[in-house]
Amino acid sequence: MGGTQTPGARDYHLLAIETSCDETSAAVVRNGREVLANLVSSQIDTHRQFGGVVPEIASRKHVESITVILEEALRKSGIGLADVDAVAVTQGPGLVGALLVGVVAAKSLAMALDVPLIGTHHIAGHIYANRLVGEIHYPALALVVSGGHTELVLLESEGRFRIIGRTRDDAVGEAYDKVARALHFPYPGGPHVDRLAAEAEGEIELPRAWLEPESYDFSFSGLKSAVLAEINRSRMKGETVNFASLARGFQESVIDVVTGKAMRAAAEFGVRQVLLCGGVAANRGLRERLSRLCGEAGVPLLVPPLSLCTDNAAMIAAAADLKWRRGEFSPLDLKADPQMPLEAWSVASE
């Protein structure tokens, strides 16, 4: 097998595939750090008319796009199939039909090329997207904020994940999209709410769900309900709803809670670095607040560029590199796992 040569003896190339939701992506990454190509085909325009992702349509679009995206990624990278040392793919979590498209493509390629297959965790990809832009110093704390996930993950060493807090209901991105719908914004609504909040002159104060005093968990369903209640209250009184101030109040509540819990965890666990990751990491208000708080606490913050915050295959290659360097490969009967646990994907203890 091409990928069984000793990592570090020469340059190696990971070909990665990401199809967990509504982006079809393929990337080629050299030596786990250098992105030679990272192609993403978004389905946003297709799903916008439905106000969210339709799983069956997403799967069909992945089938239509996967071959073209793989060919274009290889062409742009400047390498040939003979130079691929391993194939990485998002195994989970995600939409099962969408995941299957990528898994089948990856298994076929790995078998045809006689190279290792590396099933990869989607959230590990978001976390290790940071390694494509800087060094990660352990112990580190990852604040994962995306459409389907909101988690605080402690990394005591490289590739070892421990979830210390997670959402009990809506994820941050999900809450943003639901609030955006109430404010009459199209899908995806997060960027619109972020922009409107930045433009607001005032703020309609909304509740903060801190939960139990020692908890690092999150809850956003009540906040979403508070936004809807404020809209209904204004309409019942015949008042014009100040959407900008409401967006500002919603965003301030979200940011207060996620950054507050992240900084408390960073202090409790004595981390050397905070990592921001996931699609909502593109939110300007969140980036600015977390940057300021980390600066005040003297804890370095690592944030990937916007192009690596949303779903992409380069981040999958970055995470798969953890397994590649340890020779931890997946069998060719690999199955998509829509509920794949992050902690179980951790690298083996050394």
- The predicted structure's pLDDT at residue 58: 82
Q: What is the mean pLDDT of each run of 10 residues along the chain (350 residues)?
A: 50 97 94 97 74 80 93 97 98 96 97 98 97 96 92 97 96 90 86 92 93 95 92 90 94 96 98 95 93 97 92 97 98 96 90
Cα-atom radius of gyration of the chain, to the nearest Å?
Answer: 21
How far is Cα 106 from Cα 62, in angstroms, rounded to an integer? 13
- The predicted structure's pLDDT at residue 326: 97
Q: With 0-12 CB in 10 A as exposed, 13-18 as middle and 19+ as buried, what is 60? A: middle
The whole-angstrom distance between residue 193's C-alpha and the CA centroid of its chain comes to 19
Same domain? For 167 and 224 the reply is: yes
Same domain? For 144 and 244 the reply is: yes
Same domain? For 146 and 274 the reply is: yes
Q: Which two tokens stand for residue 273?
A: 């670095």
CB 273 within 8 A of CB 156: no
> Judging by DSSP bridges, how do beta strands 13-18 and 23-30 pair with one another?
antiparallel
**pLDDT tens for residues 154-193?**
999 999 999 999 999 989 988 998 899 899 888 888 889 9
Same domain? For 299 and 162 the reply is: yes
Same domain? For 293 and 325 the reply is: no
- The predicted structure's pLDDT at residue 5: 45
Q: Report the domain count for the chain.
A: 2
Same domain? For 52 and 194 the reply is: no
How far is Cα 304 from Cα 277, in angstroms, rounded to an integer? 7
- The predicted structure's pLDDT at residue 107: 98
Same domain? For 292 and 209 the reply is: yes
CA angle 324, 328, 334 (to 5 degrees): 105
Q: Which two tokens stand for residue 65?
A: 């796009």
Residue 97 lies in a domain: yes
- The predicted structure's pLDDT at residue 337: 97
CB 184 within 8 A of CB 166: no
Give the bridge partners for 40, in sequence order.
Answer: 25
Residue 209 lies in a domain: yes
Per the structure, the complete domain to which residue 284 belongs is given by 137-303
Residue 188 lies in a domain: yes
Residue 350 lies in a domain: no
Same domain? For 316 and 269 the reply is: no
> Judging by DSSP bridges, how do beta strands 34-42 and 86-92 pair with one another?
unpaired
Length reported for the chain: 350
Same domain? For 20 and 95 the reply is: yes
| Phi and psi torsions of 144, nearest 5° | -100, 120
Same domain? For 90 and 195 the reply is: no
Residue 42 lies in a domain: yes
Same domain? For 18 and 123 the reply is: yes
Strand order in the sheet with 273-277: 160-166, 150-157, 140-145, 273-277, 301-302
CATH number at residue 76: 3.30.420.40
Same domain? For 108 and 52 the reply is: yes
Packing angle between helix 243-269 and helix 190-199, nearest 10 degrees? Answer: 100
Residue 189 lies in a domain: yes
CB 12 within 8 A of CB 84: no
Enumerate residues 6+ apart whose C-beta is below 8 A from 89: 16, 17, 18, 102, 103, 105, 106, 107, 117, 118, 119, 120, 316, 334
